[in-house]
Structure 1
Amino acid sequence: SLGVLSMALLTWRIFLLLKVSWKKYTRRLPKFTPAWIKNVSLHLLLYLFMWAVPIAGFLLSNSFRPDNVKFFGLLLPDLFPQNKAMVDVGRSLHFWLSYTFLAFILLHAIAQWKVVRANWRRLQNFLEVNR
């Protein structure tokens, strides 16, 4: 259920980002600097993995047993047909995509280290005040 909800919200967010980007970049093209390319590539890969990990989970669930994916009790149509041979593929895809996604999250945290450190200090201050 949470995977289906995240996929719906993520897909909606991707469409909104594409709409905003389209409006922004039709008015004025970006400066294609190495920093801009690195930033856009990292975020593109993060969104790709955010979308691919639940899809691999759907592949695993649907390949294992039909009528397996539910959204808070509502049965959803199968995206993939039941196929015992695809269970191992789905399991491997879901596993490796998840850990690769985690690696990119860590890469993003390293790239935004100042923000991470500032948020960590803010959290520590909040916890000290609310003791």
Structure 2
Amino acid sequence: EAEAFALAKAEADARARAKAEARARAQAEAHARDHARAQAEAQALAQLEAQARAQMEAGAHARAFAGSLQQWPNGAMLGPNGQPVAPPAGWPVPNGAHANPNPHAHPNANRGGGVRNPNVNGGLYYHNGHNLPRR
């Protein structure tokens, strides 16, 4: 009787040990899965943040640059203090104009050929940024 009891106890112990081992293994696997998922999420988040930061910096740089050079339709640009500045060498200028310090000049005034602008100076002709008398 004692032998049967000892045998039954040993079997029950073995079953309990196997159960505990299985539970521990499942917990370890779940922990590893959670860790991997958290790591992947953190990596993705860091990547997104870096991307957003790069975009923001690029946008801020572009805005600052654009704000420092406001372009007139006739190709002249205003510097930070509002004074006209010539565009940097090699930059395309709309209408093929040169920097013209007169913001009221006709957009085509700098092309040569004397474009008449009736709204400015009583309709004087402009020629390369200089006024010519009426014909």
Q: What is the TM-score with the length of structure 2 in the denominator? A: 0.29
Higher relative contact order (CA 8 A, sep 6+): 1
Name the one with the larger helix percent.
Answer: 1
Computing the radius of gyration from Cα coordinates, the structure with the larger value is: 2
Greater strand fraction, Structure 1 or Structure 2: 2
- Taking structure 1 as the reference length, the TM-score comes to 0.30
